[in-house]
Amino acid sequence: MHRRNATIRVAAARRLRTYNPRAMQVSATPAAHSSVRLEVELPAERLDRSVEEATRRLAKRTRVAGFRPGKAPRFMLERVLGEKAVMDEAVEILLQQAYRQALDDQRIVPLTQAEVDVVQAEEGKAFRFTATVQVPPEVTLGDYKNFNFEPEIESIDDAKVQKVVDELRDQNAALRTVEDRPAEKGDLTVVGFVGTRDGVPFEGGSAERMPLILGEERLIPGFEDHIVGLSPGESVEFDINFPADYTDPDLAGQSAHFAVELKELREKILPPEDDEFARSMGEFADLATLRAEVRGRLERNALDHARHEFADRIIDYAVSNATLDLPPVLVDQEVEVMHDEFRATLARQGIAEPAYLKATNQAETDLHAEFRPRAEGRVKTLLVLSKIAEAEETDVSDSDVEAEVAEARRRYSGDAKTLTYFDSARGRAFIRSTLRRTRTVEALIDAWLAEHPEHAGLPHLEDDQRSAVADAQSAAAIGATDAAIVVEAEPSDEQAETRPAAGAPA
């Protein structure tokens, strides 16, 4: 049995049917993991013609002594190239033609590589092969409208307003050097310390001058408690245990000795909570005006948060009621997107991925295994929302897409790769699909609110309208195709092209 792989671009599958013309017979059967098994049979004369074509092709590109280019007969080519060379080439030619024709006949556009087995390839006999290929899944929607929950809006009371005012005072506090008392929780300190294990300093366990706000527990739990009560210039020594889940596995759960010196001590002096403070924060006539503005912002944020949470619950409800079989290739792609998002997060923190993997004693495969369950959830959500958008006939105009492309040019003006992605057909398809999903969910929310006029409204906040290109650099980084696009696209000639794997069938 011979094996071939065909690389196929991402696209959509359509209905399966049996096709029985005189020249070729094709049957298609659904298989596991959102795949289809094709069984193809061609008459013997098709293979005979491919043998003739293979002979001509090989003769043109093979130098055979005593023959002009293109004139060497089959038996001489097989003497030079091997007895199976012509048949291998013929099978290659026929597979390319028949596989593409079978895809067109069945209106199937595979998602990725097809596993092709040549069952019979003998001159004078019918040519038969099978091809198993992943296809976009059939999404069967369940209920996504008749949910029994409603938006939950956080109430804003005086205590929550006061908390914000206190935070504003803290952010605008002055700092004063403390000389007349020991350190207390909330003080700003500068400390130096040396950590040892069995009398030997360990990596990352020492610092000459480290800023520390007592009470924030930035270091090992309990470390800062030993500093409380010290005055500048004083030192303390103590033993402490690292947490069992500490990021460095060599230190996790282990005991260490620390010698700590308090080098500087300062305290925050909060501004008085009065009208003058309010005026210093902006165009506020007095403290009451500031409080009113804080309350208004908190109430608007509460409505916006309620709308977002309501949207998430609707999505979870719709996804949980839908049925589909996820193609592994779409999950694999989403894992790569998540991996790129993770790299970007590390980069923003100034951490190189190899350093992170070493510190956490992980390999890239461990990360992918960790990402995979969430990737499956993300892909399922994209596909279900796309199906709902189709059912609800949600439309996105070309002008809407172009407006988002313009936003991408503004947002990512210095990122040539991202801009190229969004200027491409694939990037524009990503934008259109994202907009369709967003508008579909927003329409479901608005429809529910219209049916429940007794409920407080959840207006769209103009300053919180997320662009379809926001946070999309990870998709652009790998040239991703939105998973939902595969159930929206139409098959094309280009999408049915094949590229056989190395090695010819025997």
Under 8 Å between Cβ of 136 and 487: yes
Residue-wise over 462-488: b if at least 16 C-beta within 10 A, else e?
A: eeeeebbbeebbbbbbeebbbbbbbbb
Q: Given this model, what pLDDT does residue 494 score?
A: 39
Q: Given this model, what pLDDT does residue 467 score?
A: 58
Under 8 Å between Cβ of 43 and 23: yes
Count of C-beta atoms within a 10 Å radius of residue 159: 7
User: Rounded to a whole number, what is the largest CA-CA distance in the chain?
Assistant: 106
Pairing of strands 255-269, 174-177: antiparallel
Angle subtended by helix axes 416-423 and 425-451, to nearest 10: 70
Both ends of the chain: CA-CA distance in Å? Answer: 8
Nearest to 255 by CA among 217, 205, 296, 322: 205
Phi, psi for 36 (deg, rounded to 5): -130, 140
DSSP state of 235: E
Nearest to 433 by CA among 392, 387, 474: 387
* Entry field: residues in the chain: 506
432 burial (CB, 10 Å; 0-12 / 13-18 / 19+) is buried
Nearest to 14 by CA among 136, 98, 140: 136
Task: Find where tokens 């700092």 sit.
Answer: 175
CA triple 241-242-243, angle to 5 deg: 115
The Cα 219–Cα 225 span in angstroms is 11
Give SS3 for 444: helix
Per-residue pLDDT tens digits of the chain, which is 506 residues long: 444 443 333 333 333 344 444 578 999 988 888 889 999 999 999 998 988 888 888 888 878 888 878 788 887 877 878 878 888 888 888 998 899 888 888 888 788 778 899 999 888 899 999 999 888 888 999 999 999 999 999 999 999 999 999 999 999 999 999 999 999 999 999 999 999 999 999 988 999 999 999 999 888 999 999 999 999 999 999 999 999 988 888 888 999 999 999 999 999 999 999 999 999 999 999 999 999 999 999 999 999 999 999 999 999 999 999 999 888 888 998 999 999 989 989 998 899 999 999 888 899 999 999 999 999 999 999 999 999 999 999 999 999 999 988 988 888 888 888 888 888 888 888 888 889 999 999 999 999 999 999 988 888 754 444 556 555 555 555 455 565 555 554 444 434 444 343 333 33
Cross-strand bridge partners of residue 177: 266
Q: Given this model, what pLDDT does residue 476 score?
A: 56
Q: Given this model, what pLDDT does residue 425 score?
A: 85
Q: Given this model, what pLDDT does residue 108 score?
A: 84
Sign for the pseudo-dihedral over CA of 433, 439, 441, 444: negative
Amino acid sitting at position 5: N
Under 8 Å between Cβ of 117 and 1: yes
Cross-strand bridge partners of residue 153: none
Angle subtended by helix axes 416-423 and 398-411, to nearest 10: 170
Say if pTM beats, i.e. exceeds, 0.75: no
Nearest to 282 by CA among 290, 291, 271: 290
Instruction: Copy the structure tokens of residue 106.
Output: 């069945």
Sign for the pseudo-dihedral over CA of 456, 462, 463, 464: positive
The Cα 196–Cα 239 span in angstroms is 10
Task: Find where tokens 């429809």 sit.
Answer: 447
Amino acid sitting at position 47: L
